[in-house]
Amino acid sequence: MRTAVISDIHSNLEAMGRVLEDIRHQRVEETVCLGDLVGYGPNPNECVEMVRKACSHVVAGNHDHAAVGLTALETFNPQARLAVEWTRSHLLPEHRDYLKHLHFTRHRKEITLVHATPHEPKQWHYLFDWRDLLVNFRAFHGRYCFIGHTHLPLAFIQGPDDRLYFNRNAVVPIEEGHRYLVNVGSVGQPRDGNPAASYAIFDASGPAIEFRRVPYPVRLTQEKMKKAGLPEYLIQRLSVGR
């Protein structure tokens, strides 16, 4: 079964549109979303609508929760906070309601879906070191856990001898006895130096995880952000993917 895993769309309609177009050519059976549908970009309502239509499973992100008043704004930097406030004032009631009721995690057979980390998902942790990683490999029970949140695509792998390592190649093979904690990167605001939208295709019988990059008209998104009065820093970072 082939599954497309998308995350961190952040109200970027152009990136989301191109990614869905790319997914259409990938013969996937389903698409799932790891949260942060909104925040940063100029099209929150359109992006929520697209995710609702395209995805069979969706979990909540910290920006989704902030946009509907479930997470305190104090945890956000000033630019992100301005974007959250802008999003709050533009989000339609039906989409606000939808975001409010998203779950923190989803489990499907061998797969866990969560926005930040499987360990304490409500705390929106970041993975800083190998010790964090070990705690998180213990926090999910199947073989695969998919995450977003940092906007940096890569796969953490636990070998049969419990050794941990990572793989940043475009295609990560699935090997017998290994477990995978995979960050699929961000559709709407990549931060690994590549401005193209990022997502992953998971195929357990493939057997592989494939990171895909999809260019989109960044300028168009930036012009809309400018018109909306969103912070300049957030506009500029899309050009460089930082």
Interface ranges with Zn ion (CB under 5 A)? 8, 36
Q: Please state the closest distance from residue 114 (CB atom) to Zn ion, in A.
A: 13
Please give, one letter per residue, the 3-state secondary structure of 165-193: EEECCCEEECCCCCEEEEECCCCCCCCCC
* Closer to Zn ion by Cβ: residue 187 or 214: 187
Q: Please state the closest distance from residue 166 (CB atom) to Zn ion, in A.
A: 20
Considering only CA atoms, which of 82, 91, 73 is closest in space to residue 230?
82
d(CA 121, CA 114): 7
d(CA 161, CA 121): 26
* Closer to Zn ion by Cβ: residue 104 or 157: 104
Specify burial of residue 39 (Cβ count, 10 A radius: 0-12, 13-18, 19+).
buried
Helix (H, G, I), strand (E, B) or coil at 90: helix
How many C-beta atoms surround the C-beta of residue 128 within 10 A?
Answer: 8
* Closer to Zn ion by Cβ: residue 8 or 22: 8
* Closer to Zn ion by Cβ: residue 116 or 209: 116
| 224, two tokens | 């809309």
* Closer to Zn ion by Cβ: residue 46 or 203: 46
Q: Please state the closest distance from residue 180 (CB atom) to Zn ion, in A.
A: 21
* Closer to Zn ion by Cβ: residue 8 or 14: 8
Q: Please state the closest distance from residue 149 (CB atom) to Zn ion, in A.
A: 6
* Closer to Zn ion by Cβ: residue 17 or 41: 41
Specify burial of residue 64 (Cβ count, 10 A radius: 0-12, 13-18, 19+).
buried
Q: Please state the closest distance from residue 216 (CB atom) to Zn ion, in A.
A: 17
Q: Please state the closest distance from residue 148 (CB atom) to Zn ion, in A.
A: 6
Q: Please state the closest distance from residue 150 (CB atom) to Zn ion, in A.
A: 8
Q: Which residues of 160-176 are buried (b: 16+ CB within 10 A; e: fewer)?
A: eeeeeeebeeeebebee
d(CA 83, CA 201): 30
